[in-house]
Structure 1
Amino acid sequence: MIPKINAEVRKALRTRWPDAGLLPEPILRPGSWIGGDRDGNPYVTGEIVQRATSRAAATALEHHLEELEHLERELSMSARLVSVTPELDLLASTSGDDSAFRADEPYRRAIRGIRGRLSATALTVLGELPAHGSDVGLEAYTDPAQLQRDLGIIDTSLRRFGDETIADDRLDRLREAVEVFGFHLSGLDMRQNSEVHESVVAELLAWAGVHPDYASLPEADRVELLSAELTTRRPLTSPDAEFSELTTKELAIMAAGAKAVRVLGAGAVPNYIISMCTSVSDMLEAAVLLKEVGVLDPGVGSEPSCPIGIVPLFETIEDLQGGADTLLATLDIPIYRAIVRSRGDSQEVMLGYSDSNKDGGYLAANWALYRAELDLVDAARKSGIRLRLFHGRGGTVGRGGGPSYEAILAQPPGAVAGSLRITEQGEVIAAKYAEPRLAHRNLETLIAATIESTLLDVEGLGSDADAAYAVLDELAALARTAYSELVHDTPGFVQYFEASTPVAEIGALNIGSRPASRKQTKAISDLRAIPWVLSWSQSRVMLPGWYGTGAAFERWIDGDDARLATLTALYEKWPFFRTVLSNMAMVMSKSDLGLAARYADLVPDAELRDRVFGMITDEHERTIRMYKAITGNENLFADNSGLERSVHNRFPYLEPLNHLQVELIRRYRSGDESDQVRRGIQLTMNGLATALRNSG
C-alpha cells in the first residue's frame, strides 16, 4: 500500500509539474519499534533484536524476489522484435544465463541475473535461500542502491523504445517497493530509558579506569567527560570483560542493532530514542554507547559520523518546557554538532504525549506540547539544523490520539515543514489499516494534512498569536493545578485508583506487551501510560481525557463575559484549541459516571470512595458545562453527528460488559483465580477497548 501511494503522489506531481523533479524520495516510509523498544520491557534482548530485523528482512527480500520472478516471465520480448539500450544489453550479458533458449531475450536474462544477485544477498543476510530465490553463483548486492540501479537500467530501456506502459506496471511497483523497503522492510527504532544508560555508562567508565563514580558527577562534569570520550577511539570494554547482567544485556542489544545496520543498511535501525531525556548528558550517554558497539565513528583524523540518529524523547511537562534548551546545549558541543552535520544537519526530537498527560493532565499536556514545538522550531532555526518532530501519539485521546488530519493541522507554525513522524498503536492499526481501501484513505489523509500544514497558515491567529498563547499559558497552569490536586495531592488517591479500576488486573493477567510499571513501585509517576489510560477507560471515567479542564475554564473566566467571549473566539478560529475541545468532548461522550459508580463501589474505604468520586463527579459536570458555554454547542456530539449515531447504537451493548467486569473483578480480588474468571476479565477488557476505540 505504501509504495502504491508513493507512486500515485509522484505521478500526480509529474503530471502537474513535469520538469520540477519533485519528491525525489518516498513521501511515506514505515517504521516500528516492536523488538527494539526495551524501555521497561525485560523481554527485549539481543536475540530478539536480531530476530526482529531478520524476519523483517526476509519479508522484504521474499517480496522483491517474487516480483522479479513474475517479471522474468512477463518480459520475454525477443531482441528480434524490440530494441534495447547498450546498458541493458550489458546487464543481460553479465547475468550468467547462457541458455540458448533465452539467448534472444535480453530483458528476461537481465532480470534473471538481478534475481540471482538478490538471492545471493538473501543467502548472506538470512543464511538461507528464501522462497522465489535462485542461487546461480552471482555476486551479492551490497545495498539496495545497487539493485535499484539495475532496475533503473531496465526501466530506461523500456521507456526509450516506447514501452512506457510496461515500465509503469509491475516494474515501477517493484522499484517503489525497493526504495521504500530496501532490504530491511521497516526501520526498527531502538529505545531505552535514560536511567539505564546512566547505569551502564557508569559501569563502563569505572571498569576502564576513566572515573570511579560517574553517577556522582554534576551535569557539567558529566558533559565534559562524555564529550571527551566521544572524540577518542579508545574502547571502554574488552571481549573478556565481566559486567553486570544489565550492562551485558544492554551491550548485546546495541551490538545486535549495530550488526543490522552493517548487514542491512542504515535504514534497518534509523534511530536510537532516549526515553525520559532530561539533560545533555542523557543524549551523550547514548552516543557513547553507540560508539562502544562501533556505530558511531568519532572521526579521529576525519569527520565524525553515526548512521543511527540520536533522538531525545521529552515526556514530562518540565522536560517538554526545557526541551529546546537541552537541544541547543547539546548542539553547542562540537563533537555532537559534527555528528548532526554528518547526517545532513538533521535532528529528530520525539514528543511524549502519554507521560505528559499522566504528569499534568489533558489541557496542560496539550499546551506543553504545543509550546515545546514552538520552542524547538525556534531552536532549530537558531542552530541551522533541519528539525523533524516525532509525535509519540497513542490510540487514546489521553495518550495523544484522535483524528490524525485535525491533529496535524493543529500543529504550530513551522512544526511540520514537510516532514513528521507519528506512531499508530494498538487497536488503531487494525481500525485504520486492516482493510486496503480504508488504509489507502487514511494514508492519503496523512499526506494531505502534512502538505496543508507545510504550505498554508493553518494556525490562523496572525497578530493575535501572542495574546492567544498568553491565555493558554494561564489556562494550562490552572488545569495542571486542578489535576494535581486530585492525582498528586489527594491523600489516598493511589489506593482509590487501584481499587476502583482494573489496573491491578492488567498487571496480574499480563494484559499488554510489557509490565504495567517501569519499576516495582505503586507510584503514579512510574506507572506506564497505557495501563493508566486503559484503567480509566474500562471503568468509564475517561479521566485522562478531560480532568482539570473544566476547573481551569471556570477559574479563568470567573464570571467575566468578555473572557468567555475570548475563549469562544479562540475555539472558532484556532485549530489547536478547537481540536483540544473536540477531542475532549468525544472522550466525555463515551464516559458514564453511572457505570463508574459501580467501579467506585469496589473501594473498601467508604470515606475515601465518596471523597475522590465526589471530586471526579463535580469536575465532570463542570467540564461539560464549560464546554457548552465556550462552544455554544448543546451537547457533546455537535462536532460529530456520526459519533452520536455510533455511540447510541453500540453503547447499549457495552453496559452488560461493564457490569460483568465489576463482578468478575470482585470475585478475582476475593480469591477466585480460576481460569474462567481470569479469562472473563480479559474478554471484557478486550470487548470494551475495541468498542470504545480511541478512548480505550
Structure 2
Amino acid sequence: MARLPKLTRFNDNVLSKYQIYNSIFMTLPFDTISNTGVLLPLFHEICKNGFDNGNNPTEIVDLFFQKYQENPSDQNKKDLLFLFIQYIERQVVLFDAIEDAAFPIVNNMDGIGTLRNSKEIAILNEKKEELKKHLEDFKVRIVLTAHPTQFYPGSVLGIITDLDKAIQNDDLLLIKKLLAQLGKTPFYKKAKPTPYDEAISLIWYLENVFYHSISKIYNYVQQHIYDGEPLENEIIDLGFWPGGDRDGNPFVTTKITLDVAERLRQSILRSYYGDVKRLKRRFTFDGVQEILAKVEKRLYKHVVRSYKKVNFSQKILLSELEAAREIVKTKHNSLFIEELNDFINKVRIFGFHFATLDIRQDSRVHHKAFTQIVDDLAADGDTTFPKNYHHLSEDEQILILSLVKGNIDPKILSDEMSVKTIESIYALKTIQARNGERGANRYIISNNQSALNVMQTFAMLNLCGFENELPVDVIPLFETVDDLENSSDVMRTLYSNQAYRYHLTKRKNKQTIMLGFSDGTKDGGYLMANWGIFKAKEALTKISREFDIEVIFFDGRGGPPARGGGKTHQFYASLGPTIEDKEIQLTIQGQTISSNFGTLNSSQFNLEQLISSGIKNEVFTKDQLNDKHREIIEDLADTSYKTYVNFKNHPQFLPYLEKMSTLKYYAKTNIGSRPSKRSNSDTLDFSALRAIPFVGSWSQLKQNVPGFFGVGTALKKYEEAGRFDEIIEFYNASDFFKTLLENSMMSLTKSFFGLTAYMADDSVFGEFWKLIFKEYETTKRLFLKLTGDQELMENFPIGKASIEMRENIVLPLLTIQQYALKQIQDLQKTDGNIKEIEVYEKMVMRSLFGNINASRNSA
C-alpha cells in the first residue's frame, strides 16, 4: 500500500485527533465553574479576530467580557482568566501526548538519517568497511542539563506518558480518565526545586527512555553492521549536569554532588536487577541459572543498601555474564542468547555510573578561590608556591602550576568558595571509587578566557592527591565572541606546556573543548555566534592536529535556534573536513529532552539522526566552504554583529526588557534551582544575565530577537549592492549556510508582532518597538526572496504545521499575559495597588509556564 504524504499523516494522526480529544477535554468538569470549557473557544475566537482587526490585548479581553459575561465583577474576571490559563496548559499537554503517540507514524523510522538507511547506502556504495571503521571510534554524547526551560513536574510527565500509550491504543475510556486526572493535577511547583530534585526528574528519562533506546541502537549496530561481532566502542555516552554544575548555582553542594552520583549508581543497578529477574525466566538451564541467581543477589544487595566499601563493579559483573554467555553458547545451543547479549551490552554502555556526572564552575570563581588557596597554603607554612607568586607573569605562573602536586586539607582554607571547590574535587575521587572512572571524569571551566584559567584548575586537581596520572579531563568552555577568537592561542599555550601535554598522552591524546552557543548569541548576535564558533572549531582543529591531539567539541546547545538548537543533526552533517568530528557532544535540556528524547521512538529516531550526521560527514560527503563563500559569511556576520551590538547598546534595550517583558518573572518561578542571574545586584546588568531568561523573555513577547536580529540588515546590504544572487547561490550550495538560515527562519515563524503592536504607541518604548519590528520585516522579506517561497518554512510542512497549532493553542494565553503586564504597568503609576499588582504578577507567571511548554518543537 502506498505510504501517504508526511503532511497527510500529520493531519490525520495529530491535528484531527487533537480536535476530537480536545472536544472531550473541554466538556469535563474540573471545577465549580462548569462553563469554562464552553467560554474558552469563544475567547479564542475573539483573540484571533481581535488581532486580525488590529486590537490590543486589553481591548480583546474587555470585548470578551462585554460580549459573554453580564456585568462580571473584577474578581470574577480574574478567576475566569486563571481558569483559562489552567485549561490551556492542559491543552498543550494533550497536544504533546498526541504528537508523541503519532511520532512513528509521521516519521519514517527506517527513512533518511536512520541507521538502517545509512547501512543500506553504505552497502550500495560499497562502503560497508568504511562505515565499520568509522563506528569503531565515533561517539555521540548527550549531556542532560537541568537548565530550566520546561515546567512540567514529574506527575504531569507521567500522565503524558500514559496518555501517549492510551492514544496509540485508541482507548477512549482511559483517555477520558487521564484527561480528568490532568485537569486536577497541579502544574506549577509551590517550592523551588533543589538540584537533587532536578536530578531525580532527569533520571526518570535515563531509566524509562535512554536505558532502552540506546541499547536498541547498539544492538542494531552490532548485529547488522558488525554481523554479531563484539564492538568495543559504546557509540552513545550519556552525560549529566544536575548536581555537578556549580556555575552560578549556590545550591549545588558537595553533599548534593555525592548524593546525585549515588542515585545514578542505584538507578542503573536497579535497572540491571529488573533485567536479571527477567533473564532468569528464560535461562532455566544448568550452570547459567546459578550465575544469574548470584548476580541477582548481589545487585539486590547493592540496590537496597549503599555500602561504604564497594566490592562490586562493572568489570566483576561483566566477567560473570560472559561466563554465563559461554555456557549458553557451548552447552545450550545459544538459546535466547540475544537477550543475554542485550543485557551484556547495557552493562558495557552504562557501567555502574549510568551517566557521567560533569563538574562545572566559572573561571572567575575559580580564580578568586585559587588566589585564596595560594595565600592559605603560604600562611600554613606550605612552600608549594613561591612567596611572590601573585606578582609573577602569566607564563611564569603557568610553569609553576604545571608542576604542582599535593594533598591539600580543605580545613586549612579560610574562604568558603575555596573549601567548596577543593571538596568538589575530592567528591570526584569518591565518585570514581564507587561508580568507576566514567562516573565523574570531566571538569568544565565556563567563561574560560585564558590558559591560566585551565592551569589553575589543573593545579587544583593535582593538589588533591590523585595518584600517578590524573584521571580527569579539564575542559575549557569558550563563550563570548572575544574568547572564541582567542581560543586557539589559549590551546597552543596549553599544548606547548610539557606537563599538560604529558597529561593528554595519558588521556589517549584527546582534548575536549566546550563552545557555548547561548552566551555567544547573547553576546554577539545569531550570525556572529554561529560563524564565530565555526571558525573557532576550524582554528582549534588545526592547532590540535599540529600537536597530534584529537580535539573533541562539546556544544552547549539550548532548545531554540537562538541558543544553538534548531535542526542540530543537519548542522553536524554540514561540517566540512576542516573541523574534527570523531565525536558529537551536546547539551540537551528542558523541552528539548521531552520533545526529542521523551519517548522510546523519538529518542531512538533522534539519536540515530545524530549518529548518521557523523556518518554522512565522514563516510559519504564533505561539505566544504570555498573562499568566496567564506568572504560572504564573514561579511554577513560582521554586518550582523555591528547591527546587533548597536541594538544591544541602545539606551532603551535593558529598560525595555525590564519593563515590557517577562524577564523579572523568570526569577520568581519555581522551575529551576539556579538563580536567573549571576550577581545579586538589584540593577539589571547585561553581562550577569543568564542566556535562558534572556532568550525566553524575547520568546514570551513573541519577538524572538536573538534568533534573527542583524540577519536582515546583513542580507539587505547585499540586496542594495545588487549582489543578492550571490547569497542565493551560497544558500543553495552550502548545507552549513542553509541550515543556519533555516534555523533563523524558525525563530521568525514563531514571532507574532500583532501581540505587542500596541507598544508602537508607547511614549517611552514606541520607537524601540518599531526598530525591532522593522528588522523582523526586513529579515522575513529577504528570507522569502532568498527561498522563492510564499511563506516561511514552506519546505518543512510538518514543523510549520506543528508550530502553527501550538501557537494557535497558546494565543489566548499570550493575550492574557500581555493584558496582565499592561494592567501592572497602569497600576504602578499610582500608589496603593500592591495587592492588585501581585494578582496580575501571578497571572503573568502562570502564563509563562504554558507558553514555554508549547515551544517544545523549537529544538
TM-score range, shorter chain: 0.7 to 0.9
CA distance in 2, matches of 1:499, 1:107: 69
The residue identity in structure 1 corresponding to 2:523 is: D
Deviations 1:133-188 (A, max 9, x none): xxxxxx9645312211221111122123453341111x222212211111111111
The offset of 1:246, in angstroms, is 1.6
**Would the alpha carbon gap of residues 213 and 680 (structure 1) be closer, same or farther in structure 2, given more than 3 Å must change?**
farther
Partner of residue 707, structure 2: 545
CA distance in 2, matches of 1:478, 1:546: 13
The offset of 1:498, in angstroms, is 1.1
Answer yes or no: is the 8 Å Cα contact 1:6–1:28 preserved in 2: no
2:456 to 266, 285, 292: 285
Partner of residue 154, structure 1: 324
2:470 is the alignment partner of 1:470: no
1:127 to 307, 313, 317: 307
Partner of residue 852, structure 2: 689
2:354 to 185, 189, 197: 185
Partner of residue 428, structure 2: 257
Bigger relative contact order (CA 8 A; separation at least 6): 2
The residue identity in structure 2 corresponding to 1:220 is: D
Partner of residue 566, structure 2: 402
Q: What number of residue pairs does the alignment pair up?
A: 635
**Would the alpha carbon gap of residues 556 and 228 (structure 1) be closer, same or farther in structure 2, given more than 3 Å must change?**
farther
SS in 1 for 2:243: coil
Partner of residue 92, structure 1: none
Answer yes or no: is the 8 Å Cα contact 1:117–1:140 preserved in 2: no
The offset of 1:50, in angstroms, is 0.9
Partner of residue 440, structure 1: 604
The offset of 1:648, in angstroms, is 3.6
The residue identity in structure 1 corresponding to 2:855 is: L
2:781 is the alignment partner of 1:583: no
Deviations 1:520-553 (A, max 9, x none): 3422122110000000000110000000011111
Deviates more, 1:153-162 or 1:348-357: 153-162
Matching of residues 272-671 of structure 1 within 5 Å:
272-295=443-466, 297=467, 299=468, 305-413=469-577, 415=579, 417-461=581-625, 465-487=626-648, 489-521=649-681, 522-560=684-722, 563-598=723-758, 606-607=763-764, 609-667=765-823, 670=828, 671=834
**Would the alpha carbon gap of residues 22 and 65 (structure 1) be closer, same or farther in structure 2, given more than 3 Å must change?**
closer
Unaligned runs of 5+ in 2: 1-209, 379-384, 829-833
Answer yes or no: is the 8 Å Cα contact 1:199–1:215 preserved in 2: no
Matching of residues 71-82 of structure 1 within 5 Å:
71-77=279-285
2:288 is the alignment partner of 1:107: yes
Partner of residue 224, structure 1: 399
CA distance in 2, matches of 1:25, 1:156: 21
Answer yes or no: is the 8 Å Cα contact 1:362–1:549 preserved in 2: yes
SS in 2 for 1:30: strand
**Would the alpha carbon gap of residues 253 and 446 (structure 1) be closer, same or farther in structure 2, given more than 3 Å must change?**
same
Deviations 1:505-526 (A, max 9, x none): 1123445341111123422122
Deviates more, 1:682-691 or 1:334-343: 682-691
**Would the alpha carbon gap of residues 53 and 492 (structure 1) be closer, same or farther in structure 2, given more than 3 Å must change?**
same
Task: Indicate the RMSD between aligned Cα atoms, in angstroms.
Answer: 2.5
Partner of residue 25, structure 1: 233
TM-score by length of structure 2 reads 0.70
The offset of 1:293, in angstroms, is 2.7
TM-score by length of structure 1 reads 0.86
The offset of 1:589, in angstroms, is 1.0
Deviations 1:580-618 (A, max 9, x none): 1111111101101121334677x7xx24x1232121112
CA distance in 2, matches of 1:215, 1:453: 47
Partner of residue 62, structure 2: none
CA distance in 2, matches of 1:255, 1:111: 35
CA distance in 2, matches of 1:57, 1:600: 55
CA distance in 1, matches of 2:635, 2:293: 67
Answer yes or no: is the 8 Å Cα contact 1:503–1:532 preserved in 2: yes
CA distance in 1, matches of 2:424, 2:744: 40
The offset of 1:121, in angstroms, is 5.4
CA distance in 2, matches of 1:516, 1:213: 39
2:406 to 210, 234, 242: 234
CA distance in 1, matches of 2:224, 2:594: 34
**Would the alpha carbon gap of residues 676 and 163 (structure 1) be closer, same or farther in structure 2, given more than 3 Å must change?**
farther
The residue identity in structure 2 corresponding to 1:446 is: L
Answer yes or no: is the 8 Å Cα contact 1:192–1:274 preserved in 2: yes
2:243 is the alignment partner of 1:68: no
1:269 to 422, 428, 440: 440
**Would the alpha carbon gap of residues 310 and 12 (structure 1) be closer, same or farther in structure 2, given more than 3 Å must change?**
closer
The offset of 1:258, in angstroms, is 2.1
Deviations 1:466-520 (A, max 9, x none): 2211211111111100000100x21232112211211011123445341111123
Answer yes or no: is the 8 Å Cα contact 2:660–2:821 preserved in 1: no
2:336 to 118, 141, 166: 166
**Would the alpha carbon gap of residues 217 and 622 (structure 1) be closer, same or farther in structure 2, given more than 3 Å must change?**
farther
The offset of 1:447, in angstroms, is 1.6
CA distance in 2, matches of 1:643, 1:694: 8
SS in 2 for 1:273: strand
CA distance in 2, matches of 1:181, 1:242: 37
**Would the alpha carbon gap of residues 668 and 214 (structure 1) be closer, same or farther in structure 2, given more than 3 Å must change?**
farther
SS in 1 for 2:504: helix
The residue identity in structure 1 corresponding to 2:685 is: A
Unaligned runs of 5+ in 1: 78-104, 129-138, 300-304
Partner of residue 91, structure 2: none
SS in 2 for 1:429: helix
SS in 2 for 1:114: helix
CA distance in 2, matches of 1:529, 1:217: 35
Partner of residue 68, structure 2: none
Deviates more, 1:149-158 or 1:538-547: 149-158
The residue identity in structure 2 corresponding to 1:593 is: F
CA distance in 2, matches of 1:16, 1:428: 29
**Would the alpha carbon gap of residues 501 and 403 (structure 1) be closer, same or farther in structure 2, given more than 3 Å must change?**
same
Answer yes or no: is the 8 Å Cα contact 2:218–2:234 preserved in 1: no
Deviations 1:82-107 (A, max 9, x none): xxxxxxxxxxxxxxxxxxxxxxx321
SS in 2 for 1:67: helix
Partner of residue 89, structure 1: none
